[in-house]
Structure 1
Amino acid sequence: MPNDLKPYLGLQASLLTQHGKESVICPLLLSTNGLEVSHVNGYDTDKLGSFTRDIPRYGSQLDAARKKARIGMELAGTQIGIASEGAFANDPFAGIIPWNYELVILVDDIHEIEITGFYGGEAQSANMLVSSWDELTAFLPEARFPSHHLVIKPDDEYHLECRKGIDTIRSLRQAYDWARNLSKKGNVFVENDLRAHINPTRMENILKATQDLAKKMTSLCPGCKSPGYSITETKKGLPCSHCGVPTNLPIANIWSCVKCGDKKEELIANQVTADPAKCHYCNP
């Protein structure tokens, strides 16, 4: 049974996935929290959105993950559901590196809460429009083929037909010839397959998001003792060591409870003043 230190010890949860995520999520949540997660695969999760753009995603990233968790709970008859959802964009710093945001959600009807783990990091999400076999083979090192599988489409990324899960030169050549014959202009679009079981870089990011979730599951609210107590905001305003003007650097973290809504401000340790180089007044 659950206890004060491990509220999920011995409880049962479901994980709906058809892309191998159980290999990283289930063992981690069992070893860190004692949560026994059963893999559920009786539903085509591509119905909630596909990375090949033929099926739009169901709502936001959080909406889609929550929907998956609820479907898994219904299929398995559990009161706790786990699900994950990924998103891809450019990096939040320079805006030029492919970036992967992974969210892993725990929907908990026992405690009547939701807890989310999150991680953002570099993605293996390369793509190219090619017009010859030589151009395609030159692209393969950038795509980290064959450890990361490929998708082929005629014409461009918006074509509704595609070949997925390509992992050999032979299947790549067959897919290229197929797409070239269908193409109106002789162009072929190639990109990394972003499904987790055939994109190891993404699977590593899912593991890190699960680690974030596992940590929050054992973090209890000082007031109501509910799991999921975590940092939800950062307060800026660390004063400049030279002029004393508040900077944009963080000075405190805001901890919040997902159950009772209690919030607590905690000063960041070992941070008293900011370097003048980071001050917009001293270094405009």
Structure 2
Amino acid sequence: MDIAGRTAVIVTMHGKEGLIAAGLAGSGLRFLSPPEIDTDRFGTFSGEIPRAGSQLDALLAKARAGLDAAPHADFALASEGAFGPHPAYGFVPGGREMVVLLCRASGLHVIGEDLTLDTNFASCEAHVATEVREFAERIGFPDHGLLLAPPGGSGPFAKDIDGFDALGATAAALLAEHGAVHLRTDMRAHRNPRRRRSIARAVSDLALRLDQRCPDCAFPDWRGVPRAGRPCSWCGTATLDSVDRLYRCRNCGLERVEPIDPDRTADPAHCPVCNP
């Protein structure tokens, strides 16, 4: 997958093209003017348009739409975010950003990711104006956007609210009509600086993966995946500690295993037998 001097189109409608182009400035790609694509049709954070399939499904659908809309582009770039309970920390909110480079000729792709706790993803039901104000200040409004809707959050949502005066007026109207208002952080990239930082990190990860090449065919994304199994120092049972890294090329199928500190054994505290 040679990318230097090739053309790429960035698929976005929420101001992410600058972030992505800047993060891949050293790749040699030539960026075409972004096509006008309604990426909201692949799903919205407000839930008004449900996302069909997984985060990866939506990501690749966006990239394919970019290739369809820009027939002269060799590659398409797209991003997709997902927010909810962090996979490692239970009910603490987390965000995962994925940025893909999709090749028209081969259909192969490379993905950069960022999994973070640095997110203000949150929602609440407010019954008085002071609760609205407290939630807004807690999530960083007005630098970070807010979405407002009737109780239950099923929409329609008031979006692009600028400043506390406009927020107060919008919330007051909903409180007067419904007795409560649903508040939700606006996770669209152009309204959420924290998310923009996460996207930038995902693009940096993509740039790194593009530089890591298979030693046989030079396809990118030659990155080792740690595998558990380091033996316990007391009883020899395999533990969850990493023992090696598996490298596998998705283009030519080459596989290599690289041991990690082969002479080291695992702490018994991590052993399912010695410390069940």
Same fold (TM > 0.5): yes
Q: Does 1:131 align with 2:135?
A: no
2:59 is aligned to: 65
Stretches of structure 2 that go unaligned for 5 or more consecutive residues are none
1:207 is aligned to: 200
Assess if the C-alpha contact under 8 Å between 1:105 and 1:115 holds in 2.
yes
Match of 1:141 among 131, 134, 137: 137
Query: Counterpart amino acid of 1:229?
Result: W
Q: Deviations over 1:62-82 (max 9, x none)?
A: 111111112222222212000
Assess if the C-alpha contact under 8 Å between 1:17 and 1:39 holds in 2.
no
- In 2 relative to 1, CA 39–150 (structure 1 residues): closer, same or farther, beyond 3 Å? farther
Coordinate RMSD, CA, aligned: 1.8
Q: Does 1:55 align with 2:49?
A: yes
2:214 is aligned to: 221
Q: CA deviation at 1:271?
A: 7.0
CA distance in 2, matches of 1:138, 1:225: 53
Q: TM-score, normalised by structure 1?
A: 0.90
Matches within 5 A, 1:1-284: 7-31=2-26, 33-77=27-71, 78-122=73-117, 123-158=119-154, 160-183=155-178, 186-231=179-224, 233-269=225-261, 272-284=264-276
Query: Counterpart amino acid of 1:65?
Result: L
Q: CA deviation at 1:230?
A: 2.4
CA distance in 1, matches of 2:83, 2:201: 16
Report % sequence identity. 34
CA distance in 2, matches of 1:180, 1:261: 60
Query: How many residues were matched structurally?
Result: 274
Q: CA deviation at 1:36?
A: 2.1
SS of structure 2 residue aligned to 1:40: coil
Q: TM-score, normalised by structure 2?
A: 0.93
- In 2 relative to 1, CA 39–90 (structure 1 residues): closer, same or farther, beyond 3 Å? farther
CA distance in 2, matches of 1:258, 1:212: 18
SS of structure 1 residue aligned to 2:24: helix
- In 2 relative to 1, CA 44–271 (structure 1 residues): closer, same or farther, beyond 3 Å? farther
Assess if the C-alpha contact under 8 Å between 1:65 and 1:85 holds in 2.
yes
Stretches of structure 1 that go unaligned for 5 or more consecutive residues are none
Q: CA deviation at 1:223?
A: 2.0
Query: Counterpart amino acid of 2:243?
Result: I
SS of structure 2 residue aligned to 1:115: strand
CA distance in 1, matches of 2:87, 2:197: 19
